[in-house]
Amino acid sequence: MSASSERPIVFVTRKLPASIETEVVAHYDARLNRTDDALAPEQLTAALRQADIIFCTVTDNIRVEQLGGSGIRTKLIANFGVGVNHIDLDAAKRAGITVTNTPDVLTEDTADLAIGLMLMIMRRMGEGERHVRTGAWSGWRPTHMVGRSPRGKTLGVIGYGRIGRAVARHAAAAFGMHVLWYAPRDPRIEDAASAGPTNAQRATSLDELLQRADVVSLHCPSTADTKHLINADRLRMMKDSAYLINTARGDIVDEWALSSALREQVIAGAGLDVYEFEPSVVADLKEMENVVLLPHLGSATMETRTAMGERALKNIAAFVAGDVPPDVVVRP
């Protein structure tokens, strides 16, 4: 941005950790979302016309209809999160807007949650917790609510970036799982070899991974190529004893197809933290015991959410100073 005596207007679309909001108020002309309600499309359009910088989150669908009109003032969209599939990047570029994200800082927490979902569904923890709460538990018995152990099983990791490799490392170290990976968008092979567990093998195809894995964990980005990557046909390729874990993006999975596969016991179970129609969830999934459902908690620790805010603030500060932000996704 060009130098100006006036402080840039920063529009914050959702409530952020207190320390981050304090920093925004201290350094910029801040417009905060006090109610923490998701913004309607017309509110996002108004913000783009009024603010120099939009500090947004995954709940803000910033599309061509917001970016394609006249009167757009915004020059930076600083996303609070890694994924940017909720932003029309081509339209942003055409509108002269830089887009940034917050990589690295949420890797370990998201990986932890994927491991947690795997344990919850394999060991039937969610089902068991509900069993106790409803008063249905009548006491211990040898054959009651028997699950499966992850130890020695094969973990199939789809998407082998930072989070996928972290999940692979944790699963191999903690449970001795064999790791098979496939990347729809190829990572640097030397990075994959150095950052993943030593026992990890690259699958020759997605189909091979699905056929061999006992647990399939999704960590690929949401793109036109990965939408419904896991569909009815691919679910049928999985073992009937296998589990699907999704902490990536909801639309990677055809949620209706997954619902049918779980109901018909095509696969054994699923653990989901993200949803195709988020925040709505296919009704059948909420009625099933062989699925664990979490409300998009992947990065939800105070440490990580604060670190994400700090990373976004660094991008904003660099942009205001006229420098290239460290985490540029697209530039005009």
Cβ–Cβ under 8 Å, residues 187 and 160: yes
Set 249, 255, 305, 311: catalytic member = 249
Tokens of 132: 């106790």
Q: In whole angstroms, what is the distance from residue 70 CA to residue 84 CA?
A: 23
Cα dihedral 179, 230, 251, 85 sign: positive
Read off the tokens for 244.
């699907």
The answer to whether 296 is a known catalytic residue is yes
d(CA 332, CA 4): 21
268 to 98, 149, 214: CA distances (angstroms):
44, 13, 10
Spatial neighbors of 37 by CB under 8 A, at least 6 apart, are none
CA distance between the termini of the chain: 13
144 part of the active site: no
Sheet containing 201-202: give its strands across: 201-202, 178-182, 154-158, 215-218, 243-246, 269-272, 291-293
Catalytic residue selected from 63, 73, 148, 278? 278
Q: How far apart are the C-alpha atoms of 99 and 97, rounded to whole Å?
A: 6
What is the dihedral sign for C-alpha 254, 260, 263, 264?
Answer: negative
Both tokens of 319, joined, read 């942009």
Helix (H) or strand (E) holding 117: helix 107-122
Three-class DSSP category at 314: helix
How buried is 295 (Cβ within 10 angstroms: 0-12 exposed, 13-18 middle, 19+ buried)? exposed
Tell me, yes or no, if 249 is annotated catalytic: yes
Catalytic residue among 21, 228, 296, 310: 296
Catalytic amino acids? 249, 278, 296
